Copies of this chain bind each other. A is one copy, B any other.
Amino acid sequence: MTEARVGYFVCSMPHNLQTSVALLARTPAALNALLRDLPEEWTHRNEGDKTWSPFDTVGHLVYCERADWMPRAKMILEFGETRAFDPFDREGFAHERQDVPIGERLDDFGRLRDANLDELRAMKLQPSDLEKRGRHPALGVVTLSGLLATWAAHDLTHLHQISRVMAYQYREAVGPWSKFLGVLQCTGHSS
């Protein structure tokens, strides 16, 4: 497997803005279809102390739409490497209202994402813009292209997390099948 992956490495997809936007535009609807009106046994349970439920994760996605991606994209275009991004609080969603149904968070996510993608399209970014550099407070020099690709991959990391956290609730209910279910072997990989 490792060898095959290495062999495939040369075919890694270059970043294409339209490809990223195609995914970014779909994530809110996918989470909406999965989570809206689902019993809270699925949406509000986590993997134990200080871990996130799907409800928390949707809150984090909402907060990222407000505070992470587009503000940082605009900082790269305005300040380049001369000014580091403000540090981002992964737990910032804790300040958002907790006593709302998940549907309200899903609505917020969809609305904010649509507005951000409208703003992104209006920038009419050119390939030369995508090469522009900014400064991440922990990672150092980054590019606008990397930021926008990360925005898309970040949706996938949280879809991956949500599916894992939900499956975790059934780790006993599945009985002996647990060893055949890869998701139940996943330990999260969070840094």
Chain A residues within CB distance 8 Å of chain B: 1, 4-5, 7-8, 11-16, 18-19, 22-23, 26-27, 29-35, 38-39, 41-42, 45, 47-51, 136, 139-140, 142-143, 145-147, 149-150, 152-154, 156-157, 159-161, 163-164, 166-167, 169-177, 179-186, 188-191
Contact = CB atoms under 8 A, between A and B. Distances in A.
A153 B183 contact: yes
Nearest to A181: B157
Contacts of A164: 156, 160
A173 B189 contact: no
B169 A159 contact: no
Contacts of A184: 153, 157
Contact of A139 (B29, B139, B176): B176
A39 B96 CA distance: 34
A33 B170 CA distance: 25
B26 A34 contact: yes
